[in-house]
Chain A
C-alpha cells in the first residue's frame, strides 16, 4: 500500500478522490481505509502538489542557522508562500521536521534529493535553475548523471565523520563477521551478541542478544528481521552516515541476525526523507544477491536463506517506534501496536520479528568478527562498546563521532568545539536538556542516554523558543491514537506559548508539571511518554527561564487572559476586526 500510494503521489503529484476509489478497488480495501493511510503520512497529499516540491527543514537548528531568510528568498523567487502550490502546478513549498542533515543546516529536500548549507543566494539560484527546467538531481548535484549511486550520495551530502572509533567508522574488513557466523550455530551467535553487552542504539537500549533470543524461541513458520532506518529523532543523523558509508556492514549484520533467529525475510525501512539513499542501497542489495550473500544457501550453507526488500516511509516520525514501523510495513497508518504482544512474539503480519536500529546491526556484525570480549571491554559497566554521536547546533565541528560509552559530556563538547555551550540537548527532544552545572555527566544508558543526538545551544539561544518548537514537533508527529498525547500535547504547547508571550502566572509552572505528568503516565507509546521532556528537563535545569517571564497576578487582573486570542474566532467569523481591541481599526 505504501508503495502504491508513493507511486501515485509521484506520478500525479497528489492522491485524488478518484485515485482513492481505484486503489481501493484494486487492493480490495475500502476507500476509507485507503484514505486513512494516505491522510496519515506527510508526504502523501490529498490536494494537488507541484511537480517540484521543496521541503525546508523547519527544525530549530535550521532556524538558528538562517532558514527563515532562505525561506523568504524562496518564497519571493517562486512567487508562493510556505504551504502553497503555484498556480501553474510547477512548485510547492513546505516545511518538514528534521531531515537528518542537521550538521549541514539549513537543509531542504527537493522532491527526492537534498540540498544543504543553504543561503538566500543559493536558494535564489536553485529556484532559477528549477524554473529553467533543470531536474532536481542536477540542481542538487551538477553532473550527477555520470556518477554511480554510491558516488552520488557521497557527493550530495558531506559525511562529516569527525572521529572514527574502533567498531564502525574505522577500517572494517569485508564480510569477516558473516564468515564467522556461518561457522557458528544460531545459539552460539545469540550467546556471543548477548555476552558482548550490545544494547539497542535506536534509543530504548534493549539488550540485543536477549531480543534475538526471544524471537528465536517463539515457535513460528516465518520470522522477520527489520532494520529501523527511520532516524526521525531531531538532531540524529548517524544512521544516514552508516547507510552511506557502511551499507554492506549493515546488511551483513541483518543477515547474521536472520541466521541467529531463523528468519528468511527482511525489510529495510527507510524514512521518506532518505529517498536519495534508496538507489544506492538497492545497488548494494543487488550486488550482495549476485555474490550469494543474500538469497538461497548464503555462503554455500544449505538451508540458510535470507533476502530483504526496502520499504520507504513517507514522512512520519512515529514510524520509528517499532510497532508503528511494522504497521507502516503492513500498509497501515503508522500507529503503534498494542503491547503485549511484543514484536519478537507477534510482529510483522503476526510473525516473530526482530526490529533493530541501523547502528545495532552494524555493531553486531563487528562483534561476530572481533568477539564478545573485545566489544565488552570498551565503554562502561552496563554500556559496552562504542556509540555514534551526531553532534549539531552551535559548535565548530558538527558531525558524527564514534566514541566509547562513558565519556563526560564536557569532553565531547571539547572535541566538537562547543565549550561555550549554555545548554546541550542530549538524546533529542525526547532526551534531556543539560545545563552547564551538569556537563560532567556521562554519556551512558544509566546517566545521559541518547540514541545519538547531541544538540549544542550557545548562550545566545532562547530556550523557551526551543521548547516551544519541540512541542510543536510532537503535536505534529503524534499519531493521534490516544487521548493524552493527541490532546494533551496541544495544551502543553499552548501553555508554553503563554510563557513566551509573557502572559503566564506563577500557577502555570505547576500546571505545566501536572499536565506533563498526566501525558507521561497515560500515553500509549514512547512518543507521548517522552514528549513533555523538553518542558520538564528545562523546568528542572533552567528554572530561571520560566520565572523570568512570569507575571504575578495582581488584584482582579488575570495576566493569563489574552484578549487578542479570545476574540480571534469572533473576528474570523465576523470577517471584520474589533473596534475596541484593534486600535488601528476604524481610524
Chain B
C-alpha cells in the first residue's frame, strides 16, 4: 500500500513526492537533476560529498538524505547553490592528484563531468594539496590508485551491501581519511573482477582500474563526451 502523495516545490516547479522519499529521489522521478557524487543508485545514502546541497525551507541540507516533506520549498539550481557546488567540486580536485589528459577515466569520470556541468573552467583559487599515495597493483586483475579518490565511499558500500564482502573501508580521520582495503594489499583480500564494487559504474573517478581493459573506449566516445552529466535524468522531465 503506498501512502498518499504530497507536493514539494523545486526552483518554482511543483512535483509529487511520497512519504519516505528523499528530496533527491522525488526530484529524480520528476526529471529534475540534483548534482551528486557520493550518492549512487542501488547503494545506501551516505551524504558526504555535499555536492547535492540544496536549500530546503531556507536551510542547507543534503538532498540525498533529507526526507521530502509536504510543502517543502527547495532551491536547487540557483546561482548561489551552483557556486557552493563549484567550490565543493574544486575542493575534491585539489584534495587529490588529478591530471585529466592522462587519466584512464577521462570522459567517463563523474568528477570531470560535474566540473563541466557546473562551468568550472577558470583556474581555481584553491591551493593544491598534492598528497603522496602509493598505487596498489598487487591484484592480478585489479589495480587501486587512490590518488584520484574523492572518498565518496561508493566502493565501500557496494562491496559491503551488494557483494557482501567488505573489501574496502575508510581509515584515518580528517584530511587523512582515505579508502583502504581489508588486508595488507588488494591481493590479500577476496576482491574479484566480477564484484559489483569493481565494476565501472561504481567508482565515479578513475581509482579502481580493471587491468587490461583500460583505454578500450577511445577518449571522445565516452559517456560524458556526448552529454552533460544528469541529462539522462532530465530527459524524462514532463514539462
Q: Is the CB of A522 within 8 A of B172?
A: no
Bound-state CA distance A33–B88 (Å) is 28
- What are 28 pairs between A and B in contact, CB < 8 Å? A30-B169, A31-B183, A32-B169, A32-B171, A32-B182, A32-B183, A33-B169, A35-B171, A333-B170, A338-B47, A340-B66, A476-B174, A478-B174, A480-B151, A480-B173, A482-B49, A483-B92, A484-B91, A486-B175, A487-B94, A487-B95, A491-B94, A515-B87, A518-B83, A518-B84, A522-B88, A524-B50, A569-B130
Chain A nearest CB from B52 CB (Å) reads 10
Q: Is the CB of A522 within 8 A of B95?
A: no
User: How many A-B pairs with Cβ below 8 Å?
Assistant: 115
Q: Is the CB of A483 within 8 A of B169?
A: no
Given A487-B95, A522-B84: A338 and B173 within 8 A (CB)?
no
Q: Is the CB of A486 within 8 A of B174?
A: yes
Leading 8 A-B pairs by shortest Cβ distance? A480-B177, A32-B169, A32-B182, A487-B91, A478-B174, A518-B87, A30-B166, A39-B171
Q: Is B237 an interface residue (CB 8 A)?
A: no
Q: Is the CB of A490 within 8 A of B175?
A: yes
**Complex partner residue of A338 from B45, B95, B127, B129, CB under 8 angstroms:** B45
Interface residues on B, range: 35 or more
Contact with A along B121-136 (1 / 0, CB 8 A): 0000111011000000
Contact with B along A502-531 (1 / 0, CB 8 A): 000000000100010010011110000000
Q: Is B53 an interface residue (CB 8 A)?
A: yes
* Chain B residues whose CB sits within 8 angstroms of the CB of A482 once the complex forms: 47-50
Q: Is A321 an interface residue (CB 8 A)?
A: no
Closest to A511 in B: B125
Chain A nearest CB from B101 CB (Å) reads 21
Contact with A along B91-102 (1 / 0, CB 8 A): 110110000000
Q: Is the CB of B88 within 8 A of A479?
A: no
**Complex partner residue of B50 from A35, A41, A522, A569, CB under 8 angstroms:** A522
Bound-state CA distance A523–B62 (Å) is 9
* Chain A residues whose CB sits within 8 angstroms of the CB of B174 once the complex forms: 475-480, 486
- Tell me the A23-57 residues at the B interface (CB within 8 Å): 30-33, 35-36, 39-41
Bound-state CA distance A333–B87 (Å) is 27
Chief secondary structure at chain A's binding surface: helix
Q: Is the CB of B169 within 8 A of A487?
A: no
**Complex partner residue of B91 from A17, A480, A488, CB under 8 angstroms:** A488
Bound-state CA distance A478–B91 (Å) is 15
Given A17-B184, A32-B168: A521 and B175 within 8 A (CB)?
no
Closest to A520 in B: B60
Closest to A493 in B: B175
Q: Is the CB of B177 within 8 A of A486?
A: yes
Closest to B178 in A: A480
Q: Is the CB of B50 within 8 A of A483?
A: yes
Bound-state CA distance A569–B131 (Å) is 11
* Chain A residues whose CB sits within 8 angstroms of the CB of B91 once the complex forms: 483-484, 487-488, 491
* Chain A residues whose CB sits within 8 angstroms of the CB of B183 once the complex forms: 31-32
Q: Is the CB of A484 within 8 A of B88?
A: yes
* Chain B residues whose CB sits within 8 angstroms of the CB of A36 once the complex forms: 169-171
Given A482-B49, A511-B125: A40 and B172 within 8 A (CB)?
yes
* Chain A residues whose CB sits within 8 angstroms of the CB of B84 once the complex forms: 518, 521-522
Closest to B179 in A: A32
Q: Is the CB of A479 within 8 A of B60?
A: no
Closest to A518 in B: B87
Chain B nearest CB from A489 CB (Å) reads 8
Q: Is the CB of A33 within 8 A of B166?
A: yes
